[in-house]
Amino acid sequence: MTVESIFDELVAEYPVWWIDALGEHNHVGGVEATRWLMARARLRPGAPVLDAGAFVGATARLLAAEAGVRAVATDVNGDFLAAGRAMEHGALVEWVVAANQRLPFADASFESVWCLDSALAPKEFTRVAKAGATLCLCCEVPVDGRGGTESFLEEWEALGWRLLAHRSVSFEATEAWRKAEHLLVRYRPRFEERYGKRGYTFALDTLADLVRAYEFGERGHALLVLEKVRG
Ligand SMILES: C[S@@+](CC[C@H](N)C(=O)[O-])C[C@H]1O[C@@H](n2cnc3c(N)ncnc32)[C@H](O)[C@@H]1O
């Protein structure tokens, strides 16, 4: 089976808009965002690196193949990991079913922890990161009047992290949600059949809410690289 057909089969089995709209590199900014983080993550060949909430581990496979790290990909869904294992460079990665909030690794196991548009688990990520480790995030950040990104960073700083690099991808996120909404509207019969009528309406409502919230500046997205300086 080709790499494309492995992914296509997974897509057919899991009719959800974020797989359809974002594809293999399933986060805002796609592989370009991954490369931006990679250039700042201080990766050393052979270093143990965690890709938490990895989906098909596109990031873990890229980091293993191009930076030579010892990548571990985790996700709550074993089907996603099984597909990732069969995809390009899948053999370079260790695949482990686990929730981000309860990772089956010893304290200080990783030199770099990645979580791209999956569930953030600040305490658990801190526990499994070595001193001096980097943490690479692609995630929603607050953009409210109570401090916005600064208040988000304070939480991480309290756990012993310091900011190394930050890039807003709110514009890219808005574009991604707009494109996804457009895709669903344009090919309505196809997606209605795939998601079911209720599932389709729910996906469209979710996307319309996202587009509105991002257009009004009520929600934002960022790439962040942090360094563990203590704890
Ligand atoms: C939007 S996808 C992002 C996938 C991947 N990080 C990427 O950038 O391609 C979110 C993934 O997080 C996984 N996920 C959601 N909640 C999780 C949790 N609590 N622990 C581990 N994985 C989780 C989902 O199964 C899904 O594969």
Go through the domains of the chain in sequence order and give each one's CATH number: 3-170+218-228 (3.40.50.150), 173-214 (no CATH)
pTM, 2 dp? 0.95
**SS3 call for 84:** helix
Which of 11, 72, 118, 138 to probe ligand 1 with, by most ligand atoms within 8 A of CB? 118
Question: What distance in angstroms lies between residue 53's CA and the mean position of ligand 1's atoms?
Answer: 4
Measured in whole angstroms, the distance separating CA 47 from the mean position of its chain's CA atoms is 20
Which percentage of the chain shows pLDDT scores above 70? 97
Q: How far apart are the first and last CA of the chain?
A: 46
Per-residue pLDDT tens over the stretch 96-115: 999 999 999 999 999 999 99
Q: How far is the CA of 16 from the centre of ligand 1 (A)?
A: 13
DSSP secondary structure code for residue 27 in this structure: S
| Residue nearest atom 17 in ligand 1 by C-alpha distance | 119
Tell me: pLDDT of 147 over 80.
no
Looking from the CA of residue 100, the nearest atom of ligand 1 is 20
Q: Whose CA is closest to 16, among 74, 57, 77, 72?
A: 77
**Residue 7 CA to ligand 1 centre (angstroms):** 16
Q: Residue 144 burial (CB < 10 Å; 0-12/13-18/19+)?
A: exposed
Contacts for 107 with CB less than 8 Å, ≥ 6 apart? 127, 128
Residue 114: other Cβ atoms inside 10 A:
28
- 157-200 pLDDT per residue, tens: 999 999 999 999 999 999 999 999 999 999 999 999 999 999 99
Q: Which pLDDT band holds residue 79 (cuts at 50, 70, 90)?
A: very high
* Confidence grade of residue 86 (pLDDT, cut at 50, 70, 90): very high
The answer to whether residue 144 scores a pLDDT higher than 90 is: no
Mean pLDDT of 30-58: 98
**pLDDT tens-digit profile of 113-127?**
999 999 999 999 999
- pLDDT (average), residues 4-22: 88
Q: Specify the residue with its C-alpha closest to ligand 1, atom 9.
A: 26
Using CB distances shorter than 6 Å, the residues near ligand 1 are 18, 25-27, 53-55, 58-59, 75-77, 80, 99-101, 116-119
- Identify the pLDDT of residue 149: 83
What is Dmax (Cα atoms) for the chain? 53
| Reported confidence tier of residue 1, pLDDT bands at 50, 70, 90 | low
